[in-house]
Structure 1
Amino acid sequence: MDERLIGAAQTGDVETLYNLIQGDPFVLDKIDRVSLVDTPLHVAISANQTNFAKEIASLKSSFVVKLNQYRYSPIHLASMVGQAEIVKELITIDPKLRLLKGQEKTTLLHCAAMADHTDVINLLLDGCPQSLMELTIWNVTALHLVVKSNQLEAFKLLFEWRKSFKTSRLVPPPFCLHWKVPNYNG
C-alpha cells in the first residue's frame, strides 16, 4: 500500500485520501485485489480515526469484510479496541457483520468480550442475541472466553444476556459454563 495512503489513514487525513484517488482512481481497487492485507480501513481503525474509517468504508465497502494477514477484518479490530461508534456505523451498513468470522472463527462478540468492551458487546447482542451461541474453532463461546481471560464486566453482561434469553428459547440448553471443552489452550 502507498505510504501516503497509510499516513493519511493513520492521521485521518481525508483530503490526502481524495488527492491520492484523484491521482490514481484505482488506488483502492489495487489494495482490494490482494488477499489477506491491511487496508486503509484497518489502519484507520487501529489509529482510532473514526471519520476517516467511515469515509473509506463508504468509498470501498468491500474493505469492511476484508481480512488482514492475521485474519481479522476492520470491524473485528474495532470490536477488539472498543470503538463502539465505528462498530455501530458498520453494522448499520450490514447487520450480518455481527456474525462475521475471523481468525479461529472468532466473531465480533468474541473479540469485544475478551477485551471487556461492554458497550460493543451490548451493540452486538442487541441486534443478534444468537451470537451468544457462536463457537470458535476451539468450540468455545464468548462466555467461555471471558472466564478464561478474567473479564469480569463482560462476564456479568454476557451472563445477564444469556439469562434473559434462556426462557425465550433463542439460546439452547448447551450454553453453559460446564460444557466440556476438549483440548482448549487458547
Structure 2
Amino acid sequence: MAILKPSLAQKLNQKGYSPMHLDLEKKHYRTVRALATLDPKLIRVRGQGGITPLHWVAGEKGDNKQELEELLELLAEFLSACRSSIEDLTSQCETAVHIAARKCNIEAFKVLFGWLKRTYMTEILDWKDQDGNNVLHIAVSKNQPEIIKLLIGHTNINAKNFRDETALEILQANPHGNQDVVKRLRRQKCLARLFTPTLSLSQFFTTELTFFEKHACFFGIQGKSTHEIILLVSTLIATATYQAALTPPGGYWVDSSSSPSANSTAITAHPSGAANGKPHHAGNMILDGWKLYLFTVLNSMAFFTSIGTIWATGIALMSKPFMVYFSVSILSCAYIISLMVEFPEQNEVAAILLWAFFGCSLISVLLLPWCVHGMHIQARKRIDATRMRGDFLESKDGK
C-alpha cells in the first residue's frame, strides 16, 4: 500500500500516530525498516507532541538486552538514512539527544553522540529546549555522570538556561552530585573562560561587524551557485598560471652555446636571447632580463591570488578544511620549487627579491584567511543562542 500510494505512509490516525509510530509501539521492527528503506522521510514524520520515530527510538531502552541492541541498531540506521532528522524538534523543543539524556538512555546517547562527532554536528548539543536547557543541563539535572563526562569539551560550559543557571551551578545545588564531575566542570570552565559565550544573539547583532563580516564576500559567504563559480574560475586560473610557469613564453634552449657565433641557428631562431651576445645552456629559459622578471611576478601574483581564493572559499564551505589547506600548501611549494629549479642564476639581487616576494605571498595566502576565519569563529563562540545551526548571516537552509 505504501508503494502504490506513498502519502498513506505519512497519514496520522486520530491519536496522532503514523504507521511507523504504530510499528515501533508494537515492536514490528522489520516493518519499520521496510518503511524507512521505502521512504527515509518517514523518519521525520511528526506525531503527537511532535514526536518523530527518531525521537521515539532515542528514548526507548527495551525490555531486555536483545531488544535494546535492536533499538540501538535501528537508531543508527535512522541517522544514516536521514541525516537531517537529528534537527527535528518536539513540541517541547527537544532533539533526539535531549530525549536520550532526559530518559537516561545512556546507550542511545552514546550512539547519537558518536554520530554527531562523525558528522561534525556537535553544535546541536548546545541547542536549548523550551526551558533553555541544553543537553549538559539535562544530564546534570538527571545526575548522569557518564553522559556529563562525554559532553565536557563539546558543549558550552557557561551556557545558561532560562532560569539563569549554568550546568555547574545546577550540579553544585544538588547534594548528591558527583564531586569528580564537579571538579571536571570547574576545570573546563577555567579553560573555556576566554571563549565562553558572553553575549545573547540579540546583543551580538548590536555589536560592530567583525573584519570577517566586513569582508564576507572575499572570504566566501555567498550562495551555493556563487561558491561554485568562484571555485571554478579560481581553479582554472591556478591551472593556467602553474602551466605558464612550467612552459614560459619562448620556451627553453635546446642546445648550449658559449658565444653568440657558436650557434647562429639559435641566434636566428631566438634573437631575444642570443642577439645580445649572451651564452646559454640547454634547458635554460630563453626569456631573460626585465621581461622574465615582469612575467614571473605577474604570473605569480595571479597564481597566489587564485590559490588564496580557493583556500578562503574552502574555509567557509567546510567545518574541517585541513585537506584543502594541505593541498594548496603542497601546490604552492611545488610552484616555488619549480621556479627555483628553472630560473637562470644571473642576477643574485633580483633573485633574492623574487624569493622574498614568493615567501611573503605564500605566507599571506596560507595564513591570512586562516587567522581571520579563526578570529571570526572565536567571536561566534561568545554567542549563547537558543537554537541556531550554521552561519548567522544565512538562513537555516542556506538560502
* Among candidates 20, 42, 48, match of residue 5 of structure 1: 20
Partner of 1:141: 166
Q: What residue ranges of structure 1 are gaps of 5+ in the alignment?
A: 173-186
- Which residue number corresponds to residue 111 of structure 2? 89
Q: Deviations over 1:114-170 (max 9, x none)?
A: 101111001111x32x522110012111122234454422xx2442113323553x1
Aligned to 1:28: 42
Q: In structure 1, which of residues 153, 160, 167 is the aligned counterpart of residue 183 of structure 2?
A: 160
Q: Which has the larger radius of gyration?
A: 2
Match of 1:118 in 2: 145
Counterpart-to-counterpart distance in 2, 1:16 and 1:117: 34
State, as a whole percentage, how many aligned pairs show the same letter: 18
Q: Give the match for residue 178 of structure 1.
A: none
Q: Does 1:103 align with 2:130?
A: yes
Q: Is the 8 A contact 2:97 2:125 kept in 1?
A: no
* Structure 1 residues 11 and 171: CA distance shift in structure 2, 3 A: farther
State the shift of 1:11 in Å. 6.0
2:39 counterpart of 1:45: no
2:34 corresponds to which residue?
19
CA-CA distance at 1:96 after TM superposition: 1.8
Amino acid at match of 1:41: L
Contact 2:43–2:54 (CA under 8 A) maintained in structure 1 = no
Question: 1:165 corresponds to which letter in structure 2?
Answer: Q
Cα 1:29/1:117, change in 2 over 3 Å = closer
Q: Distance in 2 between matches of 1:160 and 1:112?
A: 16
The count of residues paired between Structure 1 and Structure 2 equals 166
1:83 Cα offset (Å): 2.6
Q: Deviation of residue 3 (structure 1)? A: 4.6
Q: AA paired with 2:98?
A: H
**Native 8 Å contact 2:157 2:189 kept in 1:** no
Q: TM-score, normalised by structure 2?
A: 0.37
Amino acid at match of 2:167: A
Question: Under a length normalisation based on structure 1, what TM-score does the superposition of the two structures give?
Answer: 0.73
Match 1:78 to one of 81, 91, 100: 100
Distance, in Å, in 2 between the alignment partners of 1:110 and 1:19 is 36
- State the 1:9 CA deviation: 3.0
Verify the 8 A CA contact 1:113 1:145 in the aligned structure 2.
Answer: yes
Shift of 1:85: 3.2
In 1, distance between residues paired with 2:27 and 2:159?
A: 34
The structural deviation recorded for 1:37 is 1.0
| Structure 1 counterpart of 2:32, one-letter code | L
Distance 2:93 2:41 in 1: 22
1:40/1:123 Cα in 2 relative to 1: closer, same or farther (>3 Å)?
Answer: same
Q: Are 1:171 and 2:193 an aligned pair?
A: yes
Instruction: Give CA deviations for 1:22-81 in whole Å, capped at 9, x if unaligned.
Output: 6x637517716x8x7100011112222322222212222222121111221111011122
Evaluate the alpha carbon distance shift between residue 136 and residue 77 of structure 1 in structure 2; reply closer, same or farther with a 3 A threshold. same
Does the 8 A contact of 1:146 with 1:152 survive in 2? yes
2:45 aligned counterpart, secondary structure:
helix
